[in-house]
Amino acid sequence: MSAAADAGPAELSAAERVRSVLARAVSLSLTTPARSYDLLGMHAVDPKGRLTLHPPADGPLAAQVATAPRGSLATLLEFTDVAATAVRDRVRARVTVSGWLTPEGRGRPGGRLRLDTARVTLRTTAGTLDVGLDEVALAEPDPLAVEEAALLTHLADAHGDMVAELVVRAGSRLPTGVLRTAPLALDRHGITLRCEYRRGHCDLRFPFPATVRDPADAGEQIRRLLTAPARCARRHPPSARSRSTG
């Protein structure tokens, strides 16, 4: 059995993916029956994945919640997970959370708004999946989630040689005619590269020899990949958009 096989699953679960998106998100889109909002730096996520909002106390959202029937407002929140590197089709996932906003601590001016979640949906290039609320509560964000953007941009800007070596090791898994390759995603189980060619793109997934414990360990695991068997790379099938000829 290979080291990669010993490391366990090579992908995050859907619930872990949701928690990771929530952990690194700094903004969200919010829709109520009356209007839509784009909120920047106005939400928090607790250790169980529960969401609270802290919009301006004198703003329209707080007023909507305050005047909502039965004290709660039907709400849909959308978090968009965008790749940190400049690649094609940078949206990697969307997490939609629906439920009801309720004042946290009634009667307190400027108090936070609690979201009582009813449904969580994860959308990726692989499809759309409803994720159980219990699964989300029990899952934890990936240990690299918050630092992923900095790690990926550092890898792209300062270690292009390592990216190039990984591409070479992909061998026959790499489609012909590739014009550019850049790191797309990084988690405790592995790194994904996006390979762009004239008429689309595909992704190459490299599972790590061992699970990454923290951001400081990520570089070591990437270096270990460069001495691991070349068969560790897996090509993800291109999406419909990747196959387009636009």
Per-residue confidence at 174, pLDDT binned at 50, 70, 90?
A: confident
Per-residue pLDDT band for 172 (boundaries 50, 70, 90) equals confident
Which positions ≥6 away from 1 have C-beta within 8 Å? none
User: Residue 203: its pLDDT value, please?
Assistant: 92
pLDDT of residue 141: 98
Residue 73: Cβ-neighbour burial (10 angstroms; 0-12, 13-18, 19+): buried
Cβ–Cβ < 8 Å for 144, 187: yes
Mean pLDDT of 128-132: 98
**Mean pLDDT throughout 59-68?**
94
pTM of the model: 0.89
In order of their start, the domains of the chain are: 14-138 (2.30.110.10), 145-236 (3.20.180.10)
Q: What is the mean pLDDT of the chain?
A: 88
Give the separation between CA 76 and CA 200, rounded to whole angstroms. Answer: 32
Render pLDDT for 184-238 as a digit per residue (tens, 0 to 9): 999 999 999 999 998 889 999 999 999 999 999 999 999 999 987 665 566 665 5
